[in-house]
């Protein structure tokens, strides 16, 4: 039976970062018709009710119906070490991240954390994530099995590292290639799952490993490739010393076949002019991780400037370098970081980044990230008065954007009133 969801609705007919807030589509009393896992129609509530009298109606009143959030860069294995104090990137990896990732050799631990992770992100209205796993193939199996059980569209890959990591977290060029290939053949395109070729970052891979993964990607160009790029200045100096012949950090990927339209680069904060030009030219994706970039002390991503230059940009928590599972909190951090750079991101831009922009960065905007006929029905319902502080501010609002902005800045999982995954309402 078809479902008809009624409330305020928000979607996009274009990119507000290039076209302004007019690219958004808002209805104060709209509806979304869902059938067989897909969005069938989006329109005015009265029109949809009249046209589909037999649909089962769920009326959300004044709440805002939107596409679910898309988190374009996360590390589910870091769930239990989120908010670990006092370190910058390399020390943070060695002190907190690597010891925790070693525990993922145990499939039971991986399964437990994967289930916990999806509980947390769904409670926060995130319906798709693109995650790193650990070097253990079992960590990928745990992640995809849990996503499949819940009917989620999800992206992930085995994190590959063959140097500058503890012995227990090192693979080899050959095993990284072979394990990634086997996992890719098992999971990529199975239901709603996509495998992502995942070298962690240049410092933890030898040139041989990057070349092996570049060769794997060349054989499977429909997969995405994700890695980290130019996150911290110390890291960049380290990359220069490890790859003395490289023109810049991006070149350590480019020269091994790891740059192309399906490349997804996390952070990309301290880019050199050649790197920016080349990333733009190949239309690779840049993923802004604002809570992580402030928490680990990495720097300020130039969202406004890079978007205006035409870069493909997504938004992400970077859990657990990022300090939140919430894409609302992540939008707030993106707003604050852009303000420090002299640019006030409009609520339409923030919402776009967290939904369609991230879907576009993952090259999945033909399937998720928007309220539009034909897209998969991953839908959230957002309460715009979820706490007394937010409610009293939203009560003053004259426009949708004024009503939405307090939830962006102060909202959390309490604002997520309902979540639909693949056309099915989640229990609870």
Q: Using CB under 6 A, list all residues that contact ligand GUN.
A: 75, 89, 93, 97, 200-201, 228, 231, 292, 296, 318, 321
Q: Which of the listed partners (Zn ion, ligand GUN, none) does 332 bind, with a CB threshold of 5 to 8 Å by partner kind?
A: none
Q: Which of the listed partners (ligand GUN, Zn ion, none) does 151 bind, with a CB threshold of 5 to 8 Å by partner kind?
A: none
Q: Between 31 and 321, whose beta carbon lies closer to ligand GUN?
A: 321
Distance, CA of 14 to CA of 274 (rounded, Å): 29
For the record, the structure tokens of 291 come out as: 């809570």
For the record, the structure tokens of 420 come out as: 């639909």
β-sheet bridge partners, residue 155 = 130, 194
Q: Between 74 and 390, whose beta carbon lies closer to Zn ion?
A: 74
CB of 86 to ligand GUN, least distance (A): 15
**Of the residues 199, 266, 357, 369, which one makes contact with Zn ion according to CB under 5 A:** 266
Q: Are 369 and 355 in contact (CB under 8 A)?
A: yes
Q: Between 318 and 365, whose beta carbon lies closer to Zn ion?
A: 318
Q: Between 74 and 210, whose beta carbon lies closer to Zn ion?
A: 74
Q: Which residue is nearest to ligand GUN (CB)?
A: 321
CB of 161 to Zn ion, least distance (A): 13
Q: Between 73 and 393, whose beta carbon lies closer to Zn ion?
A: 73
Q: Which of the listed partners (Zn ion, ligand GUN, none) does 317 bind, with a CB threshold of 5 to 8 Å by partner kind?
A: none
Order across the sheet with 56-67: list the strands. 38-44, 24-35, 3-12, 56-67, 379-382, 416-421, 424-425
CB of 414 to ligand GUN, least distance (A): 27
Q: Are strands 159-160 and 193-199 parallel, antiparallel or unpaired?
A: parallel
Q: Which of the listed partners (ligand GUN, Zn ion, none) does 376 bind, with a CB threshold of 5 to 8 Å by partner kind?
A: none
CB of 101 to Zn ion, least distance (A): 12
Q: Are 133 and 143 in contact (CB under 8 A)?
A: yes
Half-sphere exposure for 159 (CA within 13 Å, toward CB): 31
Q: Which of the listed partners (ligand GUN, Zn ion, none) does 201 bind, with a CB threshold of 5 to 8 Å by partner kind?
A: ligand GUN
Count how many residues are written for the chain. 428
Q: Which of the listed partners (Zn ion, ligand GUN, none) does 303 bind, with a CB threshold of 5 to 8 Å by partner kind?
A: none
CB of 240 to Zn ion, least distance (A): 20
Distance, CA of 74 to CA of 121 (rounded, Å): 11
Q: Which of the listed partners (ligand GUN, Zn ion, none) does 348 bind, with a CB threshold of 5 to 8 Å by partner kind?
A: none
Q: Are 291 and 328 in contact (CB under 8 A)?
A: no
Distance, CA of 139 to CA of 311 (rounded, Å): 32
Please tell me whether residue 16 binds Zn ion under the rule CB under 5 A: no
Chain positions 155 to 214 lying near Zn ion, rule: CB under 5 A, are: none
CB of 13 to ligand GUN, least distance (A): 34
Q: Which of the listed partners (ligand GUN, Zn ion, none) does 97 bind, with a CB threshold of 5 to 8 Å by partner kind?
A: ligand GUN
For the record, the structure tokens of 294 come out as: 């402030």
Q: Between 232 and 303, whose beta carbon lies closer to Zn ion?
A: 232
Please name the helix (run of DSSP H) or strand (run of DSSP E) that holds residue 225, with its range, or none: strand 224-229
Q: Are 226 and 198 in contact (CB under 8 A)?
A: yes
CB of 239 to ligand GUN, least distance (A): 11
Three-state DSSP at 134 gives coil
Helices (H), 75-136: 89-92, 98-102, 107-123
Q: Which of the listed partners (ligand GUN, Zn ion, none) does 192 bind, with a CB threshold of 5 to 8 Å by partner kind?
A: none
Three-state DSSP at 35 gives strand
Q: Are 350 and 335 in contact (CB under 8 A)?
A: yes
Binding mask 296-335 for Zn ion (x = CB under 5 A): ----------------------x-----------------
Binding stretches for Zn ion (CB under 5 A): 266, 318
């Amino acid at each position: 039976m078809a479902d008809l969801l009624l409330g305020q609705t928000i979607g996009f007919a274009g990119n507000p970062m290039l076209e302004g807030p007019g690219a958004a589509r808002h209805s104060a009393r709209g509806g979304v018709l869902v059938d067989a896992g897909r969005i069938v129609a989006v329109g005015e509530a009265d029109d949809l009710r009249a046209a589909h009298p037999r649909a089962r109606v769920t009326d959300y009143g004044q709440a805002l119906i939107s596409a679910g959030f898309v988190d374009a860069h996360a590390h589910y294995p870091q769930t239990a070490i989120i908010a670990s104090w006092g370190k910058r990137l390399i020390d943070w990896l060695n002190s907190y991240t690597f010891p925790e990732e070693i525990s993922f050799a145990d499939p039971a631990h991986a399964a437990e954390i994967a289930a916990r992770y999806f509980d947390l992100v769904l409670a926060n209205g995130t319906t798709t994530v693109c995650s790193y796993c650990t070097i253990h193939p079992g960590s990928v199996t745990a992640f995809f099995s849990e996503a499949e059980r819940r009917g989620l569209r999800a992206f992930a890959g085995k994190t590959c590292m063959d140097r500058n990591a503890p012995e227990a977290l090192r693979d080899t060029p050959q095993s990284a290639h072979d394990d990634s290939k086997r996992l890719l053949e098992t999971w990529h395109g199975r239901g709603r799952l996509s495998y992502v070729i995942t070298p962690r970052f240049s410092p933890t891979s030898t040139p041989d490993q990057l070349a092996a993964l570049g060769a794997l990607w060349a054989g499977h160009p429909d997969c995405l490739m994700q890695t980290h790029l130019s996150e911290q200045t110390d890291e960049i100096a380290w990359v220069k010393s490890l790859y003395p012949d490289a023109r810049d950090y991006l070149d350590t990927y480019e020269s091994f076949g790891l740059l192309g339209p399906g490349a997804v680069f996390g952070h990309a904060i301290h880019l050199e002019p050649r790197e920016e030009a080349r990333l733009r030219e190949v239309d690779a994706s840049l993923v802004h991780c604002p809570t992580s970039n402030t928490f680990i002390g990495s720097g300020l991503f130039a969202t406004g400037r890079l978007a205006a230059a035409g870069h493909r940009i997504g938004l992400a928590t970077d859990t657990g370098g990022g300090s939140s599972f919430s894409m609302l909190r992540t939008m707030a951090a993106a707003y604050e970081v852009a303000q420090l750079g002299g640019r006030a991101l409009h609520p339409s831009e923030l919402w776009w980044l967290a939904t369609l922009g991230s879907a576009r960065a993952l090259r999945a905007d033909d399937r998720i990230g928007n309220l539009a006929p034909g897209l998969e029905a991953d839908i959230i319902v957002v309460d715009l008065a979820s706490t007394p502080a937010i409610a009293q501010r939203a009560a003053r609002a004259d426009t949708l954007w004024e009503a939405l902005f307090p939830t962006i800045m102060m909202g959390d999982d309490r604002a997520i009133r309902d979540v639909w995954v693949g056309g099915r309402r989640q229990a609870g």
